[in-house]
Amino acid sequence: MITRQDMDYHLEKMHSATDEATRYLWAETLYIPFAVPEQRLFGSIYTLARPGLGVTLSEIKVFRGLGRTRFDAAYSDNRQQLPAPKEFSRFALVSGVTADLTRGPEHYAISYQGHDNTSVDLQLEALMPAYDIHDPAMDPVARKTAAEQAAHSGFGASYGGHYDQTCRVRGQLILRGEKFAIDYVDCMDRSWGPRPEVGCPDMCWMHAIFGADYSMHAIWKFDINAAADAQYTFAHGYVLENGLVHGLTAATMIVDRVGIWGSSYRLNVTDIRGQQHSFHGAPMASGLWECFPCVGVPDLLNRWVTGDGRVGYGEIQDAVFYDHYTTTQAQRQVISG
């Protein structure tokens, strides 16, 4: 169960899960999205703090339309080595990001004052309890031991603690002087655990949202080198329907690709009630997100359609770690040669 205490650093867990030699690996993250789907525009404010090192990553991105590289971004502000805040529940970074999580997990306030007349000011109101992927009272596929949780989290021990939460997002984006009102439904997340920069498993984090009354979210293990019907292995997720959360018990996703980029998506999920949900999607906007230098994330804003024709949207992040990708490509060359 996620409580207000989880808005701050998990220092006791850090000390029990690491020693002096490995304490630098511990990470605490906050991902806050924003989008204007009708403008084919989406972005995020992402913070990753390493309290064992005393440093923080601060990353703000905006993608508009279909891009393929970081150079296609509408806006980018990526800083890797800032001083870590003393508290995570309320902080101000030298990058211009300020956050107040003291009313979380019910409410979050985050803002950013950037360069080139760009700023973001957001208020997030939770539409559901924070979905703790390790709480069996909430998630029907939650595991008991820390080793089992890491093996089945979708992202290894990096998701030693993790929750997702569908929220009403309101506020304003000013992008180089152009103003956009933000008022829609999206999914944020928060994580804590050891997060190395070599050896992390590839994964996918995604959702399909059709309004405050109906949405789904899922985490997957990901293998971009597998066959189209075997790239995604379901880890955790939920359906939010008419104010009630129903954990997922199974899911499949099949993607047609052009290189690393998904071009069409077929998604089927089953919730704890045995109810099935089907969605088809294609990207509205995209860009290559490199939140830290060891990973490339083909990041998409998808247009989704339900089986009965309802239209929504949702972000898809396929995290591909460069060390793993280059190793598999080298192995393929050896085999083919």
Q: How far apart are CA 22 and CA 194, in angstroms?
A: 8
Question: What CA–CA distances, in Å, run from 312 to 62, 98, 158, 263, 280?
Answer: 20, 30, 30, 17, 10
pTM of the model: 0.96
Q: How far apart are CA 296 and CA 288, in angstroms?
A: 7
Q: What is the phi-psi region of residue 240: left when phi exceeds 0, alpha when psi lies from -120 to 50, beta otherwise?
A: beta
DSSP designation for 20: T
| Structure tokens given for 27 | 């990470």
Which amino acid, one-letter code, is at 118? Answer: T
Q: What is the phi-psi region of residue 193: left when phi exceeds 0, alpha when psi lies from -120 to 50, beta otherwise?
A: left
Q: How far apart are CA 174 and CA 113, in angstroms?
A: 10
Count CB atoms within 10 A of the CB of residue 219.
24
C-alpha 256: how far from its chain's center? 21
C-alpha 260: how far from its chain's center? 18
- Of 252, 206, 200, 263, the closest CA to residue 230 belongs to 252
Give residues with Cβ within 8 angstroms of 297, minimum separation 6: 288, 289, 290, 291, 317, 318, 319, 320
- Tell me if residue 143 falls in helix, strand or coil: coil
CA atoms within 13 A of residue 209's CA, in its CB half-sphere: 23
Written as tens digits, the pLDDT of the chain (337 aa) is 999 999 999 999 999 999 999 999 999 999 999 999 999 999 999 999 999 999 999 999 999 999 999 999 999 999 999 999 999 999 999 999 999 999 999 999 999 999 999 999 999 999 999 999 999 999 999 999 999 999 999 999 999 999 999 999 999 999 999 999 999 999 999 999 999 999 999 999 999 999 999 999 999 999 999 998 999 999 999 999 999 999 999 999 999 999 999 999 999 999 999 999 999 999 999 999 999 999 999 999 999 999 999 999 999 999 999 998 898 887 766 666 6
- Tell me if residue 64 falls in helix, strand or coil: strand
> What is the SS3 string spanning 235-284?
EEEEEEECCEEEEEEEEEEEEEEECCEEEEEEEEEEECCCCEEEEEEEEE
